[in-house]
Structure 1
Amino acid sequence: MVPFLYGTRYHEDNGMVRLWSMETNRGRDTMDPVFEQLYEQYHDDLFNFLFYMVRNREHAEDLVQEVYVKVLRSYKRFKGQCSEKTWLLSIARHVAIDFFRKQKRRQWVKASEWSEEQLGADEPMPEEIAIQNEEIQLMYRCLARCTVDQQLVLVLRFIQSLSIAETAAALGWTESKVKTTQHRALKALKQYMEEEAEREEWRHEKISLE
């Protein structure tokens, strides 16, 4: 089973309340009950989703806060056509995609400064995943090889446990597109996991021969 991870919550004496005061421009000392409920109830879901997408705890925490900034600005326009969780995850999806675009631009600018070793190096595995069993680690590495759309569907369907309809609402897709992407994502994930398993087996054989 894929581990559900938890972020660091921001309580009433820190940045989120200060953010609330700045966004509403009313100088409130406490959060609005609706916003507080959204924060308390869905913070971990959002962190978990964003962590699996961006593969970094600090980035995920920052992006969760960005999601809630957007919630503060747009909640009055929420019409209840889907669940609050689905709506929040749809915002998180846009935030994650914006993050990827910014990272891609930064990487393109800095690429000329990287050595061949840096370009070929694997990204360090977050501690939360590194302490899991080998199967979880393998799946985490392979998930990163999937396309962004495939990752979105896999995380929403099998980590967030959203239905096909909820996933479609979160992504702004048709249910047919979700099903097709899920089928391709599972096929790709299986292939990548088999390739990784074969690679690991080859490494063990090489070590034993030495």
Structure 2
Amino acid sequence: MRDAFQKDTFQQIYEKYHQDVFKFLFYMVKNREQAEDLVQEVYIRVLKSYEKFEGRSSEKTWLLSIARHVAIDWFRKNKTIRERIFDKFDWDQQQIMDYKPLPDELALQGEQVQQMYHALDACTVDQKSVILLRYLQELSIAETAKTLGWTESKVKTTQHRALKQLQKQMNIIAEEREGFLSEKTRVKY
């Protein structure tokens, strides 16, 4: 009876939060196949530790906390691989597919979303985690703090620094693009 309950509970958790976990990991590692592998690692850890889940936070924040730790472990093991993936990510060739519909910003791959996506590379892992949890996963400050095991003030500080870093990177990208377009225009005439 207990195994059936665990199987049903696990299935419900998977169906309810799979897309959130996948999106979070995809934005962290910027590779569909790697994100899928890491999602599997998350659910292996969930199976091993669900009995210890005390419900002090929501299941979503608990899962995203596990996902963040899985991503950090992957970054530590694959530092040079991570740098190659970030440098060679190609929006035209990369397609994100999953069983559920894609987020609008990824499906449309608008220019501003692409720039923001690339600007995230300038952020630390902590900053990126906060941005993804707050704005992609739409967690509150309190939920983000629980997910990360931080104080709310640390989340606010990290969020502030991350937004400043993103703004700086977006300005650099805009200047580079503007310079490129100006140069291209001069070459034509």
State if a TM-score over 0.5 links the two structures.
Answer: yes
Match of 1:191 in 2: 168
The two structures have a TM-score, normalised by structure 1, of: 0.77
Match of 1:78 in 2: 53
Match of 1:124 in 2: 90
Q: Provide the C-alpha distance between the structure 2 equivalents of 1:58 and 1:107, rounded to a whole number of angstroms.
A: 14
For the pair shown, which has the larger CA radius of gyration, 1 or 2? Answer: 1
- Flag structure 2 segments of 5+ consecutive residues without an equivalent: 97-105
Q: Provide the C-alpha distance between the structure 2 equivalents of 1:157 and 1:192, rounded to a whole number of angstroms.
A: 19
Q: 1:179 aligns with which of 156, 164, 167?
A: 156
In the TM superposition, residue 133 of structure 1 has moved relative to its aligned partner by 1.1
Per residue, is there more helix in 1 or in 2? Answer: 2
Q: Provide the C-alpha distance between the structure 1 equivalents of 2:175 and 2:72, rounded to a whole number of angstroms.
A: 32
* Matching residue's letter, 1:157: R
In the TM superposition, residue 144 of structure 1 has moved relative to its aligned partner by 1.6
Q: Provide the C-alpha distance between the structure 1 equivalents of 2:6 and 2:159, rounded to a whole number of angstroms.
A: 38
Question: Which runs of structure 2 are paired with 1:50-69 in the superposition (5 Å)?
Answer: 50-69=25-44
Q: Provide the C-alpha distance between the structure 1 equivalents of 2:111 and 2:81, rounded to a whole number of angstroms.
A: 30
In the TM superposition, residue 124 of structure 1 has moved relative to its aligned partner by 2.8
Would the aligned equivalents of 2:30 and 2:89 in 1 still touch at CA under 8 Å? no
Structure 2 residue 147 is the aligned partner of structure 1 residue 170: yes
Aligned residues: 175
Would the aligned equivalents of 1:66 and 1:95 in 2 still touch at CA under 8 Å? yes
Amino-acid identity (%): 56
RMSD over equivalenced CA pairs, Å: 2.6
Would the aligned equivalents of 2:128 and 2:162 in 1 still touch at CA under 8 Å? yes
* Matching residue's letter, 1:156: L
* Matching residue's letter, 1:77: K
Against the structure 1 CA distance between its residues 56 and 90, is the aligned structure 2 distance closer, same or farther, given a 3 Å change threshold? same
Would the aligned equivalents of 1:46 and 1:64 in 2 still touch at CA under 8 Å? yes
Structure 2 residue 137 is the aligned partner of structure 1 residue 160: yes
In the TM superposition, residue 195 of structure 1 has moved relative to its aligned partner by 0.8
Would the aligned equivalents of 1:130 and 1:137 in 2 still touch at CA under 8 Å? no
In the TM superposition, residue 122 of structure 1 has moved relative to its aligned partner by 4.4
In the TM superposition, residue 123 of structure 1 has moved relative to its aligned partner by 3.4
The two structures have a TM-score, normalised by structure 2, of: 0.85
4+ aligned runs moved over 2 Å, structure 1 = 121-131
SS in 2 for 1:32: helix
Question: Which runs of structure 2 are paired with 1:1-210 in the superposition (5 Å)?
Answer: 32-104=7-79, 107=81, 122-125=88-91, 126-128=94-96, 129=106, 131-210=108-187
